Amino acid sequence: MGYGIGEEAIRTLKLSPTWIPGSQMGQPVRVLYSLPITIQAEETPKKYKVTKASYQKMDFPPTIFGN
């Protein structure tokens, strides 16, 4: 991603409270956990300025060869 975004995500997670591990039959176990992180930029950089998209109407939709 760049611009220090990964480092900021790690810093923010380190500020979270102590996590309680998952357990099974009273024993701690590894648990797959996904924690979505949303990053909101203050503004769009000038070189990435969003412009109006243009589309062309196609006579035939794309197809996969062999089908």
Task: Dump pLDDT digits (tens) for 25-60.
Answer: 888 888 888 888 887 777 666 666 667 776 777 777
Of 36, 48, 34, 35, the closest CA to residue 2 belongs to 48
This prediction's pTM: 0.41
Residues 2, 15: Cα–Cα separation, whole Å: 21
Mean pLDDT, residues 12-34: 86
- Is the pLDDT score of 67 beyond 60? no
Residues 15, 10: Cα–Cα separation, whole Å: 9
- pLDDT at position 33 is 82
What residues have CB less than 8 Å from 18, skipping those under 6 apart? none
> Is the separation of the CB atoms in 39 and 49 below 8 Å?
no
